[in-house]
Structure 1
Amino acid sequence: MMDSQQKEIRELKQALLKANEDIEKLSRLKSDFVSVISHELRTPLTSIKESVSLVLDEVAGPLSENQKVFLNIAKNNIDRLAKIIIDILDFSKLEAGRSTMHKKKMDINKVINDVCLEMREDIKKNELSFDTELSDKIEKIWLDPKRISQALRHLIDNAIKFNRKKGSIKISTNQELVDAKEVVRVSIEDTGISIPQENLQNIFDSFMTGDSSMTRKHKGVGIGLSLCKRIVDYHGGELWVESKEDVGSKFIFTLPIYKKDDEFNFLLDEAIERAKYNDMRFALIVFGIKNKKDINEENLSELEKDIHFVVRGPEDKVTRFKDGEFIVIMAETDRLGAEKIVGRMKGKVRIPLNFGVVVYPDDAKEKDELIKEAEKKLGSKKNTL
């Protein structure tokens, strides 16, 4: 009896594993198919757009006013189709985990202002009032400006398309504490048609929309919000919507503010990813104050200033490690270059320092191994300044 049950369990496990493998294979095939089709569509579309633009510029000869009107309609629809293809391609990359984020530490208000400036004519054309309430008390955060701009464009575009006549749009930012973690909160609020309550749960699903009849009226494939969700998820944030009948909708997303060790880990992941992609080396150079009695924020801040002075590379990063008690340089250089950086620090030492140099991939290839090696080098008596 027991043997029979165990055999049945084994067979069920094997069947489940096979089913999972088949699902993953189908998912990869779908992503590859979407990617290939999108690429194949973009090439002729670019050619068509260029040809229409040349005709509109009257390179092929003068045009009547009626001809210009029809050609502009064609050009606008080509642009709309190109945007849809780009969105589908980006979505398939994000869904398949093939998209790389290029994050920078920057002010999200600047990203928002740039997107608002870009979309000002669309807002004006639709006779909507527009307001921003951007807090000047929020910290800079790590984000991919291109991707966050893409998400903002979709959210603002939705607020434009589904708004009421003479309606309004308001964008606001603030910094708040959520589950003991600091985040930046961004909201895009409109006075448009509300989203039916039964659709709120699946509004961010692929190719889903709040109301199919409205989507047909305003055009769209229902991928924009799903793409926004993927982008925010990739940033470690959250995106959700609040909607009230006869009031409008508010789309809200949060992005985390990385602190000390979080930032160090994030930068190290980024450095390893970049080094793997470019098949190159980078050095992890860690400086620590030798005597515990000298460890205080004033000395650490002075040390950080000195380190910033000796760092030369445009891609070199300086951050804190171990609750801010160690300062790290991630330099795109080999061991010899790292030793030169340490040498430049010798002339700036105000208090005794320990240091450690670890080179990727020579000393270690994984993040944990790199950190372990750096800590070991820090503990060496010969590595002092």
Structure 2
Amino acid sequence: MKMDCQSRSKTERDVQSLDTEKPIEWIDPVPPTSPQSLLSPSENQHTGAHQITDLPVSLVALERSLTQALLANRNTQEALFNFAQLIGEAFAVDCCLILPQDRGTPQAIEQTFQQVYSYIVSPFQYSEQLLTLFSHPRIQANLPTTETIAVDDLQALSQLTASFRQSSDKGASPPTAQSRQAPGNSSPPPSAIPSQVRSVLIQNTQYQGRINGTVILIRSQPYDWKETDVQQLQSLSPHVAVALSQNQLERQMEQQARYQNLVNQLTAAIRNSWELEQIFQLAVEGATSALQCSRGLVFLLKYSDPMYKSRSRGIPEAKVNVVADWFEPFPERLQMQTEPLGDRTIWASTCCLCRQVLTSSEPIAITSYMDWDNREIEGKTPAPFFALDRFPALLLAPLENQGTVLGCLVLQHHQHRIWEPEEIAFVKLVAAQLSTAIIQVRTLQHVQALVQERTAQLQRSLDVQAKLYEKTRQQVEQLRRLHEEREEFLSTVSHELRTPLTSMTLAIRMLRQADLSVERRTRYLDILEQQCVQETQLINDLLDLRKLESTTTTAPLQKLDIRYLIRNTAQSIAETLAERNLSLELDLPTKPLNLYTEPDSLSRILMELLTNARKYADSDSVIQLQVSYDPTQPMNQVVIALRNIGAGILPDELPYIFDKFRRGRGVTQQAIQGTGLGLALVKRLVEYLGGTIGASSQPLEQSSSWQTCFTVTLPQCPEGLMQGMT
């Protein structure tokens, strides 16, 4: 029971009681040895009781004060505190308690006191132990009625009752009929009643035919309650009943507002797609706080058989997993909250409570597990995480969807508790919200999984299409380049073939003239021979290039001094260079530079590079041929650099100058002969010898000419040959 107790105290009694001179004449005195002498219920009245007909004027004023207090205060809670103070001061008692009742059953009175409105005079102290006076059998017997209970000395009454019990055990004569108690009703021991409580006056309040509260006047000393006290308290009880009824309505409205607030929060959380763990925690904390429970938890079920759909198939194999747990933050129960609760993942078939959840479609309300008829099902004990020794009261609401139990919302209390129908209906509504959240999240997860799977499949398909597209693009690009090369080849070959053929055809026609002189005949024969050599050279270049592109064999290497090879090649082309006033400058090592290579291929490379330089070099310029040795590389290398000054190579043309039939722009306009096969043949020959070739072209300052350099790098001794030599 959660008791929200507040008190208001006075330090001295400055208010005199109402008319207390006259004793209650309708109470029949009993012998001193009987406990009835201290209790004045109506069953001890005799027919000659004196009736009071006149009420004091101060009672009317008190009733008016109570009415004004009810109207003046903003809420009935404050009014009930004022009621307790006004009544306590009017009766000059040490303590006045006003307790609302939600039920009239005596067994549930202690639990159903949700709030105590009190007035206490110092040094009298209030504690929950005061409520033990309701366990007295004589008081319990009159609680369901509207009769006033007056006890002059509660401690003496308890002692006399105990002495009667002891004398009865020794064979003494039984008590009188008035003192005989119902079976099972025994007075509490004197130590159970607070020592500060001596005399009490108790009056139940009634509203619309139903008891809705109790007014308790307590004195710390024995007191002979007068008939006027009873009459006045009975006259005041309707005012208290109205205030309690309004207070109960306010509390019900506040409780419904808390219920609705939690439902709205859960609805918003589900709508905003919160994480399932956050929704569980919100529901557990909100429901536990709204119902003023001690603990709340949520556990989910995972079935071994995914096709399980109905309870009609018996108890399924399912695992229970606690996914949310929350304790009421009470410092006095901190140790209870921190103690271990056992394994939080179990098989449902091993727990009697979990088995009950699997077979029930409605919430299961258990006032106390020890009093529950089904606390053992087929010998199964409850799961340790329920901690029933600390939280014996349970309310289990299954989370289900279309007959399948998804889990359970569990609320627990640290002492016995009767679960109200309104509370059960509220928890059932919260459970329905959680079920909706679970189905929504799982459906969303399933949809997301399908979307991710379809997206992955689509991505894989797009990747394949992208690869196919890239392959197609590369093939189209290759076809385009092949087409361009073919067109360029046809254009070049057409030019290079037709021009000599035209000259040859013209020379042949001229030779057919009968009156042709010897000199002219000799000239035409020279032209015919020159053009035949050019045609033969073109065909040979094409055949050599084709052979180099298709060959997979290595060149037959010979050891030679590269200086002699370069000098011989320079002498063979010197005459041709002189025709354009070009000079060749050689920069060779002073010492022999041996090189393992194929002499014909190297000589062809040098000849083609020198021929290319002769075509594009400016007249009266110098062509430089430099040979160097680089021992810093992993494999010793020989570097041949050929530089000339003249027409340059544009930067965008440099990557393609070694392609077949690729010539620089403006060559045709300058009438420079060539087929575009020379540099392509050089590149294939260099690769054939295991080397590399590169080109650079930079404009000269204050000049329209460019300096172009071709660099050939050859291994001094190829790796395979070097390994064979070692």
Provide the TM-score with structure 2 as the length reference: 0.30
State whether structure 2 residue 654 is matched by structure 1 residue 194.
Answer: no
What is residue 236 of structure 1 aligned with on the other side?
Answer: 691
Q: Equivalent of 1:74, from 509, 521, 528?
A: 528
Q: Is the 8 A contact 2:693 2:710 kept in 1?
A: no
Residue type of the alignment partner of 1:248: Q
Structure 1: how far apart are the matches of 2:631 and 2:664?
A: 30
The 8 Å contact of residues 695 and 708 in structure 2, kept in 1 or not, is answered as no
Where in structure 2 are the equivalents of 1:51-66 lying within 5 Å? 64-66=518-520
CA distance in 2, matches of 1:134, 1:189: 14
Say if 2:537 is the partner of 1:83: yes
Distance 1:63 1:109, change over 3 A: farther
The secondary structure found in structure 2 opposite 1:253 is strand
> Which amino acid in the other structure matches residue 251 of structure 1?
F
Matches within 5 A, 1:321-340: none
Distance 2:622 2:560 in 1: 28
Residues 82-128 of structure 1: CA deviation (Å, up to 9, x unaligned): 11211111112222235652221222222212211221221122221
Measure, in 1, the Cα distance between the counterparts of 2:668 and 2:676: 11
Distance 1:140 1:6, change over 3 A: same
Q: Which amino acid aligns with 2:558?
A: K
Residue 620 of structure 2 aligns to a residue whose secondary structure is: coil
1:191 Cα offset (Å)? 2.4
Distance 1:179 1:215 in 2: 44
Cα distance, 1:146 vs. partner? 1.0
Are residues 97 and 243 of structure 1, via their aligned partners in 2, closer, same or farther at CA, if it must alter by over 3 Å? Answer: farther
Q: 1:264 to 1:12 in 2, by over 3 A?
A: same
**Paired amino acid for 2:681:** L
Partner of 1:254: 713
Task: Please state how far the C-alpha of 1:18 moved relative to its aligned partner.
Answer: 11
Uncovered stretches (5+) of structure 1, i.e. residues with no partner? 39-44, 57-61, 268-318, 321-385
In 2 relative to 1, CA 194–4 (structure 1 residues): closer, same or farther, beyond 3 Å? closer
Q: 8 Å contact 2:642–2:711 — kept in the other structure?
A: yes
Shift of the 3–120 alpha-carbon distance from structure 1 to 2, 3 Å rule, reads same
CA shift, 1:9, in A, is 6.7
Superposed CA offset, 1:297-316 (max 9, x none):
xxxxxxxxxxxxxxxxxxxx
Q: Please say if residues 639 and 714 of structure 2, whose CA atoms lie closer than 8 Å, have aligned partners that are also in contact.
A: yes
Deviation at 1:255, TM superposition (A): 0.6
| 1:306 alignment counterpart | none
- Determine the structure 2 residue equivalent to 1:167: 621
Deviates more, 1:95-104 or 1:227-236: 95-104
C-alpha displacement of 1:77: 1.9
Task: State how far apart, in whole Å, the 2-side matches of 1:196 and 1:242 are.
Answer: 7
User: Residue 131 of structure 1 is aligned with which of 566, 585, 589?
Assistant: 585
Instruction: Give the 3-state SS of the residue equivalent to 2:533 in structure 1.
Output: helix
**Aligned-partner residue type, residue 676 of structure 2:** G
Structure 2 counterpart of 1:185, from 639, 644, 663: 639
Q: Which amino acid aligns with 1:219?
A: Q
Selected match of 1:158 from 603, 612, 616: 612
Partner of 1:289: none
Deviation at 1:157, TM superposition (A): 0.4
Deviations 1:236-285 (A, max 9, x none): 333333443424322111111237x65344x5xxxxxxxxxxxxxxxxxx
C-alpha separation between the residues in 1 aligned to 2:534 and 2:589? 33
Q: 1:226 and 2:685 equivalent?
A: no
Whether the 8 Å contact between 1:104 and 1:143 is mirrored in structure 2 is yes
Other-structure match for 2:721: 263
Q: Would the alpha carbon gap of residues 92 and 74 (structure 1) be closer, same or farther in structure 2, given more than 3 Å must change?
A: same
* 1:194/1:247 contact within 8 Å kept: yes
Q: Equivalents in 2 of 1:64, 1:13: separation in Å?
A: 71
Summarize the Cα distance change of 1:63–1:99 in structure 2 as closer, same or farther, 3 Å threshold. farther
Q: Give the CA RMSD over aligned residues.
A: 4.3
1:113 paired to 2:571: no
Q: Cα gap change, 1:218/1:180 in structure 2, threshold over 3 Å: closer, same or farther?
A: same
Q: Give, as a single letter, the amino acid of the residue that structure 1 aligns with 2:712.
A: F
Q: Which amino acid aligns with 1:250?
A: C
Counterpart code for 2:721:
E
Contact map agreement 1:186 1:253 (CA 8 A) in 2 = yes
Q: 1:209 aligns with which of 659, 663, 671?
A: 663
For 1:248 and 1:214, how far apart are their aligned partners in 2?
A: 21
* Structure 1 residues 212 and 230: alpha-carbon distance in aligned structure 2, compared to 1, 3 A threshold: farther
User: Is the 2:691–2:712 contact (alpha carbons within 8 Å) kept by the matching residues of 1?
Assistant: no
Identity among equivalent pairs (%)? 23
CA contact (8 A) 2:629 2:636 kept: yes
Q: Please list, as runs of the form range in 1=range in 2, the aligned pairs for 1:3-18 lying within 5 A after superposition.
A: none
Q: 1:20 to 1:214 in 2, by over 3 A?
A: closer
* 3-state DSSP of counterpart to 2:655: coil
Cα displacement (A) at 1:180: 4.5
Superposed, which structure 2 residues align to 1:21-60 within 5 Å? none
List alignment gaps of at least 5 residues for structure 2: 1-453, 494-499
Partner AA of 1:66 in structure 2: R
- How many residues are matched? 251
**Contact 2:569–2:606, Cα closer than 8 Å, also in 1:** yes
3-state SS of the aligned residue for 1:91?
Answer: helix
Distance 1:114 1:90 in 2: 23
Letter in 2 for 1:127: N
Amino acid at match of 2:564: K
Compare the two structures and name the one with the higher helix fraction: 1
Using a 3 Å threshold, how does the CA distance of structure 1 residues 160 and 143 change in structure 2: closer, same or farther?
Answer: same
Could you say which residue in structure 2 is the equivalent of 1:96? 550
Q: Determine the structure 2 residue equivalent to 1:142.
A: 596
**What is the CA deviation profile of residues 199-248 of structure 1, one whole-angstrom value per residue up to 9, with x for unaligned ones?**
22221122112334358612111111111111112223333334434243
The aligned counterpart of 2:110 is none
Bigger relative contact order, structure 1 or 2 (CA pairs below 8 A, ≥6 apart): 1
Q: Is the 8 A contact 1:137 1:174 kept in 2?
A: no
Question: Contact conserved, 1:237 with 1:253, CA < 8 A, in 2?
Answer: yes
Alignment of 1:278-293 (within 5 A): none
The answer for the alignment partner of 2:70 in structure 1 is none
Matched to 1:238, the amino acid is I
Could you say what secondary structure the match of 1:197 adopts? coil
| Distance in 2 (alpha carbons) for counterparts of 1:251 and 1:20 | 30
Supply the AA of the counterpart residue of 2:692: G
What amino acid maps onto 2:707 in structure 1? Answer: G
- Counterpart AA for 2:709: K
SS of the residue corresponding to residue 166 of structure 1 reads coil
Conserved 8 A contact 1:209-1:215: no
